[in-house]
Structure 1
């Protein structure tokens, strides 16, 4: 399939303030987890954030004992209680929210995320790549890599282990995404040297640079049923360098960064000869990685 050159799209009106919430959900304590999420969202909104990203499975916690527990804690989207409360917060505060939620669709389970805004529910993303014991509880996502049009810009979502696959970010970029929001529950990686940045941060920086695409990662902290989580949330500019973070490894905190999408689009042009998206050799490889999706001209 031949594809037109990548288009920059219309400029943004002003820089967008993004907030990534680093927090510690507690397994099974949905009411408390959601209430604390909303308090963090309120804080972020009071500091001028227009887009707030929460961790993976922020409403339920992560380490399920078995599939039965996961089924009991999961909820339909967008009509479940957690999603409704978070959507109401987005409407009340006039912000956009990306939040990781365990989704139940009949007897199927998905590690999912919602996008909600001032006008209500916008969309759902289902994690494509399952990590370790997630395979005992969840089905792989079946919604592809959707990119959602909003007044802020075009928003894509990835969840945790999705970030290990460059295809996730490339498909978002080729659909003219302005940012990828990443709810995540990063854990220690085998053989990780103590004096080196987290592998997850390195991968996010590389993906941002190679796609000219800002990436906002909200991780959790704490130890849940013996599983430690590493914090280090961060917000990366489209040039690949962190705008905020990495955060601490063990504290609840909120990272803030202002991003001007018109500047990010311009930075994809590396010099007079090179553009990170237009330079792709689509005569050699499928520009949309075999998905058959059409690139956006926006």
Structure 2
């Protein structure tokens, strides 16, 4: 097993930007290709890898019946087992987007697996456009998973437009948020002069105002005529990207070496300003009314 199994801090974070396609005949090849890129990341020392939303299935379902055919149980489905085997073999942590079936309910989900098995899942809370026709809104809240490399939170795509999500994850003590995405082309303008899209800035802003690392893996390419924005990035606790922001056009792997638990002291900017301390919990609830998981100190 690679030495990365024993690398607790710093962590080499990698986000994988790839191009999965809809079609049950593509599901296994989608994941095998994503894991081939993840293997490159492992070979370059990564021990926390983030894959995009719905990386096994593609995105552009034609109807609910087709979405149903693409979904699997978590963690017993084939894709989850491949992810578990990969994480165990390489001694790494891996977040990936999976289309989940639970009885007759379908969820746009993210799974987190590690060297010793399945750690948990998150079900997308905020559904975008036609996702509302296939998927049920997530019902698990916003869990944070405590691991040897740090506390890991998960969010999916449209969630980043809702500032409550990264705030609640940070209030629970998340050191890093893995953001799994299918950021889609919308009416222009799509990119600014630097090549960043609006989702890039929302990610940067969320990292900045919560003093938390965010590793955002988006997809690229075209799926049944639907185009995707790329722009994957890894944001530091200051918000600024720690590497380049990926282009819209190509598959990519981005890396950043970070001490995740450094996020716990990052909120102290100077002797008079500390974001958690400066919040006006006398005017609004410190957890915004969220009660599913406790707040932990950072």
- Aligning the two structures, in what range does the TM-score lie when normalised by the shorter sequence? over 0.9
Q: Does 1:166 align with 2:148?
A: no
Q: Where in structure 2 are the equivalents of 1:251-270 lying within 5 Å? A: 251-270=250-269
Distance between the aligned counterparts of 1:176 and 1:152, measured in 2?
Answer: 13
Q: Which runs of 5+ in 2 are unaligned?
A: 1-6
Map of 2:4 onto structure 1: none
- Report the 3-state secondary structure (helix = DSSP H, G, I; strand = E; otherwise coil) of the residue aligned with 2:41: helix
1:13-33 CA distances to partner (integer Å, 9 max, x unpaired)? 632100000000011211101
- Report the 3-state secondary structure (helix = DSSP H, G, I; strand = E; otherwise coil) of the residue aligned with 1:52: strand
Map of 2:294 onto structure 1: 294
Distance between the aligned counterparts of 2:27 and 2:100, measured in 1?
Answer: 13
Q: Does 1:231 align with 2:226?
A: no
- Equivalent of 1:22, from 10, 17, 25? 17
- Report the 3-state secondary structure (helix = DSSP H, G, I; strand = E; otherwise coil) of the residue aligned with 1:91: helix
Map of 1:127 onto structure 2: 124
Residue 168 and residue 194 in structure 1: after superposition, are their counterparts in 2 closer, same or farther (change >3 A)? closer
TM-score (norm 2): 0.93
1:76-95 CA distances to partner (integer Å, 9 max, x unpaired)? 00110000101100000000
Stretch deviating more after TM superposition (113-122 or 275-284): 275-284
Q: Does 1:145 align with 2:125?
A: no
Distance between the aligned counterparts of 1:235 and 1:144, measured in 2?
Answer: 24
Shift of 1:192: 2.1
- Report the 3-state secondary structure (helix = DSSP H, G, I; strand = E; otherwise coil) of the residue aligned with 2:30: helix
- Report the 3-state secondary structure (helix = DSSP H, G, I; strand = E; otherwise coil) of the residue aligned with 2:119: strand
Map of 1:273 onto structure 2: 272
- Equivalent of 1:112, from 98, 101, 109? 109
Map of 2:239 onto structure 1: 240
RMSD: 1.4
CA contact (8 A) 2:9 2:149 kept: no
Distance between the aligned counterparts of 2:89 and 2:67, measured in 1?
Answer: 30
Distance between the aligned counterparts of 2:33 and 2:191, measured in 1?
Answer: 31
Deviating beyond 4 angstroms after TM superposition, the runs of 4 or more aligned structure 1 residues are: none
Map of 1:5 onto structure 2: none
TM-score (norm 1): 0.93
Q: Does 1:98 align with 2:98?
A: no
